Amino acid sequence: EPEVTQTPSHQVTQMGQEVILRCVPISNHLYFYWYRQILGQKVEFLVSFYNNEISEKSEIFDDQFSVERPDGSNFTLKIRSTKLEDSAMYFCASSAVTDRSRVLTFGAGSRLTVL
Amino acid sequence: GDSVTQMEGPVTLSEEAFLTINCTYTATGYPSLFWYVQYPGEGLQLLLKATKADDKGSNKGFEATYRKETTSFHLEKGSVQVSDSAVYFCALSDPNYGQNFVFGPGTRLSVLP
């Protein structure tokens, strides 16, 4: 069964450092997403991406965050200067369509720990 | 805006017990409804979905019926197993009002042998 692949599975970084989280969506999917889950809390939407541009973003997705699809397969989330409160599990997701039958397929997540 | 409320748990049951996890939603449009499951150390996996009123989603013995009149999508299973221990998330999606999914807070289920 097709999978969404995320790397790294766990990254530890110092506050103020830049972090790039990588995702390989399912190959025939067109819509890509990043969500995050702070430990023990709810899953929160960050950003959606379609046709090489951001289609929607939440209030969490401020100027410190950016997304990119640098080639035909990868979809990355960059945090320019990490803060302690960025510590969370980050989930990438993709979907084939955006109508009522839309299902998001999630990756296993990248755990980010900011010290 | 749209929102999802679910019983937060934790829920602890014995094997073969009946499970209900309540989920209610608030939406301005006509959303699709989902249950996702997160097993320990893993990502979110789709468990079941329903796209319109009175639809019943089912998978792996779990069921949920889209009730528009009560704005609910309660998850049920007649006989839980230890392997069902996980966190369950109710979610909605309304393409008419944006691309994102809105998730409930999750309910942790522990099934004891």
What 3-state DSSP class applies to B95? helix
Q: Closest approach of chain A CAs to the CA of B100, in angstroms? A: 6
Within 13 Å of residue A67, how many CA atoms lie on the same side as its CB?
Answer: 24
pLDDT higher than 80, residue B4: yes
Peptide bond connecting A8 to the previous residue in cis, omega within 30 degrees of 0: yes
- pLDDT for B10-53, tens place per residue? 999 999 999 999 999 998 878 899 999 999 878 889 999 999 99
Q: Closest approach of chain A CAs to the CA of B79, in angstroms? A: 27
* Tokens standing for residue B43: 């990502």
In percent, the amount of chain A with pLDDT more than 70 equals 97
- pLDDT for A40-72, tens place per residue? 788 999 999 988 899 889 999 999 999 999 887
> If you ran DSSP here, which 8-state letter would residue B22 be given?
-
CA distance B113 to B89: 23
Query: Which residues in chain B have Cβ-Cβ distances shorter than 8 Å to A100?
Result: 32, 51-52, 95
CA distance A101 to A112: 32
* Cβ of residue A3 closer than 8 Å to a chain B Cβ: no
